[in-house]
């Protein structure tokens, strides 16, 4: 099973969440894990009208 590093955002973008994971080097704590590490960025559009709020998600494999 892969390890997951998840960053949640609102009113930004899933890509911004992935960029934060990379900039702050969150996966470094899993360096000796030995398996795949998936970076997961999820964004929620909270300012959209009710019933039109959406999530977007981006998943990338991290190669340290």
Torsion of CA 53, 43, 15, 58, to 10 degrees: -90
Task: Please determine, for residue 64, whether its predicted confidence score (pLDDT) is greater than 70.
Answer: no
Task: Please determine, for residue 59, whether its predicted confidence score (pLDDT) is greater than 90.
Answer: yes
Instruction: Take residue 29 and report the two structure tokens written for it.
Output: 């704590």
Task: Please determine, for residue 61, whether its predicted confidence score (pLDDT) is greater than 80.
Answer: yes
For residue range 6-58, list pLDDT tens digits in order: 999 999 999 999 999 999 999 999 988 888 999 999 999 888 888 888 899 99
Phi first, then psi: give them for residue 37, nearest 5 degrees.
-125, 120
- According to the model, what pLDDT value does residue 43 have? 97
């Amino acid at each position: 099973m892969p390890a997951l590093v998840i960053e949640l955002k609102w009113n930004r973008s899933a890509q911004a969440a992935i960029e934060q994971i990379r900039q702050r080097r969150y996966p470094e704590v899993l360096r000796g894990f030995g398996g795949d590490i998936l970076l997961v960025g999820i964004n929620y559009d909270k300012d959209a009208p009710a019933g039109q709020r959406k999530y977007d998600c981006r998943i990338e494999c991290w190669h340290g």
